[in-house]
Amino acid sequence: MTGIVIAVASSPAHTMSKPIREAIRLLAGLGVADDAHQGVTVKHRSRVARDPTQPNLRQVHLIHGELLDELEAAGFLVPPGRMGENVTTRGIDLLGLPTGARLRLGAEAVVEVTGLRNPCRQLDGLAPGLMAATLGRDADGNLVRKAGVMAVVLADGIVRAGDAVRIILPSGSPRPLAPV
């Protein structure tokens, strides 16, 4: 299964939106170089307030471009990077991946999916109702979080728009994604 990177973004400041870049550098065990969420321990402000020693399972945020299409059809103009993601993909069912799936981004970089992004109210600051638009219900009425996945970096590398995304599924029984 392969997809494509359609955009990359990073920000040295704790901002909701991240500017689009020509390329980002992923650093093993740390995240995106020069990004506010880079580090071994958690960098998201709410999580730092609870326990700054937690491991950073949210080094890289990935969103599927198909979500942006869905949001546009619902009346929200959300370009890549706007919801704080570092990597926007197309052609990969990110939400359907199991915990521990690895993604090779481009020639060298490898990330391991740790879980789902739990959308927060800050999204409503971008557009009223955006947070609710990133949530849904499955056929059984269970909450579905659609705002992308989080990952840690296993192998360094440069990632650019146009790079291939290749999935490496973990062995054993798949574990469904849960919020991290």
Mean pLDDT for 85-113 is 98
- For all residues of the chain together, what is the average pLDDT? 96
Instruction: Please write down the long-range contacts of 72-75, taking CB distance under 8 Å and 24 or more positions apart.
Output: 74/133
Distance in angstroms (rounded) separating the CA atoms of residues 21 and 62: 15
Q: What is the pLDDT of residues 126-146, one digit of tens each?
A: 999 999 999 999 999 999 999
Q: Does residue 161 carry a pLDDT above 90?
A: yes
Residue 81's pLDDT band, with cuts at 50, 70 and 90, is very high
Residue 164's pLDDT band, with cuts at 50, 70 and 90, is very high
Distance in angstroms (rounded) separating the CA atoms of residues 31 and 179: 18
- 2-11+20-168 CATH: 2.40.33.20
Q: Does residue 19 carry a pLDDT above 80?
A: yes
Distance in angstroms (rounded) separating the CA atoms of residues 104 and 79: 23
Closest to 88 measured CA to CA, from 4, 152, 172, 6: 6
Residue 43's pLDDT band, with cuts at 50, 70 and 90, is very high
Distance in angstroms (rounded) separating the CA atoms of residues 38 and 91: 26
Closest to 85 measured CA to CA, from 32, 142, 153: 32
Distance in angstroms (rounded) separating the CA atoms of residues 16 and 122: 7
Q: Does residue 1 carry a pLDDT above 80?
A: no
What pLDDT, on the 0 to 100 scale, is given for residue 48? 87
Element (H, E) at 66: helix 65-73
Query: What does the domain layout of the chain look like in residue ranges?
Result: 2-11+20-168
What pLDDT, on the 0 to 100 scale, is given for residue 47? 85
pTM of the complete model: 0.96
